[in-house]
Amino acid sequence: MNYKEIMYTVGQLVRCVYGVDVPVNVQNTIIRFPAKGIGLMNQRGDIINTANQDEVMRLMNKIPSDLTDPKDKMEFDAQGAFWLGYYHYAKITDDVANYGANELTVVGNALYGDQWQTALSRDLELSSPRRLRAWLSGERKIPTGIWFDVVELLKERHLKIGEIIKKMA
């Protein structure tokens, strides 16, 4: 298991559910034992009572269903990844106030051309392109974390283009 990636996502989940008011018992548990910590969040009813269920679902889908806690405690690097996810989520939450359907359309066209909706839906691992269309029409709010995934797709494409330029130049 790649605990660094998992803990980054767990950090995002904690920020999504609690904002800055993370209960001490949840914080102390989840930073060392993520499976127990997520169980505690669920047992307290915090996950199900969070207003932004689309975002919670998106983040939970990134956490492996067979997640097991380490025998002793989480490695220091993975604990650091938790805090990176927690604070990156806060930053992007502030930034997304300036992002919307127009920006998503620009990104989709830049990455995939005119037939971008199906391809972007696939790469974002959405259940259906209809979900993306609902965001574009304003029928549903674009989940905050989608912008993390969009930025990652842009970075991947940027790296590929950079490699091509190196070979050709």
Residue where a domain terminates, one of 63, 96, 129: 96
Q: Which domain holds residue 160?
A: 99-168
Q: Are residues 78 and 129 in the same domain?
A: no
Q: Are residues 12 and 86 in the same domain?
A: yes
pLDDT, residue 23, reads 95
Q: Are residues 23 and 89 in the same domain?
A: yes
Question: Tokens at residue 64, please?
Answer: 């492996």
pLDDT, residue 110, reads 93
Q: Are residues 51 and 118 in the same domain?
A: no
Q: Are residues 17 and 57 in the same domain?
A: yes
Task: Show pLDDT as tens, one digit a residue, over the chain (169 residues).
Answer: 789 999 999 999 999 999 999 999 999 999 999 999 999 999 999 999 998 888 898 899 899 999 999 988 889 999 999 999 999 888 888 878 788 999 999 999 999 999 899 999 999 988 889 999 999 999 988 888 888 889 889 999 998 888 999 999 8
Number of domain units in the chain: 2
Q: Are residues 66 and 130 in the same domain?
A: no
Q: Are residues 141 and 66 in the same domain?
A: no
pLDDT, residue 93, reads 82
pLDDT, residue 103, reads 94
Q: Are residues 28 and 56 in the same domain?
A: yes
Nearest Cα residue to 142 out of 96, 111, 95:
96
Residue where a domain terminates, one of 38, 65, 96: 96
Task: Compute the chain's Rg from CA coordinates.
Answer: 18
